[in-house]
Amino acid sequence: MLKKKDKYVVAVVGATGAVGNEMIAVLEERKFPVEKLRLFASERSEGKTLQFEDSEIPVESLNEDSFKGIDIALFSAGAERSKIWAPIAAKSGCVVVDNSSQWRMDPEVPLVVPEVNAHDLKWHKGIIANPNCSTIQMVVALKPIHDAARIKRVVVTTFQAVSGTGKKAMDELLQQTTDMLNFREIKCNVYPHQIAFNVLPHIDKFLENGYTKEEMKMVNETKKIMGDESIRVTATTVRVPVFRGHSESVNIETEKKIMPNEVRSILSKAPGIVVYDAPEKNVYPLPIDVAGKDPVYVGRIREDESIDNGINMWVVSDNLRKGAALNAVQIAEELIK
């Protein structure tokens, strides 16, 4: 468990990646009480420096003793590394907030979105899982509706930015766009098909049931975070040529009838949400507008006229902020309260 202090020694593991960079920025912006920040990445990055507040901090590579004296470690270094290093960190007395898929469905590890289930932090054993980016923004919007009208079923289609794959994917989209506009040959390295001016209904590996791992993450994580196995969820996850910001078309069936105006009212009072919904004035959330911002934006709230108790809505959030780095830092803030 975390000892109460005025300031904490914090580590970022995977500090040189897109999410690691964002974690450092969010710690600084939110004035997290950092006594000392330590940065870790692969051997390739050793010796690089990254800025935090007014200091240039060297990047180190990990070893068995790296976590001694560290209070909180924010991990964004992929599942393989988390599998090895998170238990070592926890054994050293450090609390790990892990952004990979490694621990999310482990029954011993809480999977936390602070606006939804901060209470689950009480039973952590040294490792806390940060959910998938597309799940985080959806459950922030679902929870207040679930509390008011009990959700029975969710059908979600996502439109996910390339930054969800990482910096190499962002570079590939930029390069392919430039090459297309200059009539040059298109090269695909990160994705199996061209992403520029295209849409790929394929995120992560395909499973035997015909769904992708990303789709099943949304199904399973939603139930765990909401603490309700009875909610039925089905997902189609799609990669789109957007640099930053995931969008989702979310269809909800509730037990009790709830009207769009009630949904707007409930969501406008809920933490972490901005209702941005005036389609008659062309006002609805766009990834281009939410990039670099913290809230989950909800618009296009309307009744699903094909069923008795249905609501459709459009949910957009910055996948590197609320979908990853911000959520991890908010978990750390909850831990030190």
For residues 316 and 297, what is the distance between their CA atoms, to the nearest angstrom? 5
For residues 290 and 275, what is the distance between their CA atoms, to the nearest angstrom? 12
The DSSP code sequence of 100-135 is SSTTTT-TTS-B--HHHHGGGGGG-SSEEE---HHH
Is 193 an active-site residue? no
For residues 315 and 48, what is the distance between their CA atoms, to the nearest angstrom? 37
Residue 265, C-beta contacts closer than 8 angstroms, at least 6 positions apart: none
Catalytic residue among 94, 124, 146, 246: 246
Question: Where does residue 106 rank: exposed (0-12), middle (13-18), buried (19+ CB within 10 A)?
Answer: exposed
Is 246 an active-site residue? yes
Catalytic residue among 133, 146, 193, 202: 133
Residue positions annotated with a catalytic role: 133, 246
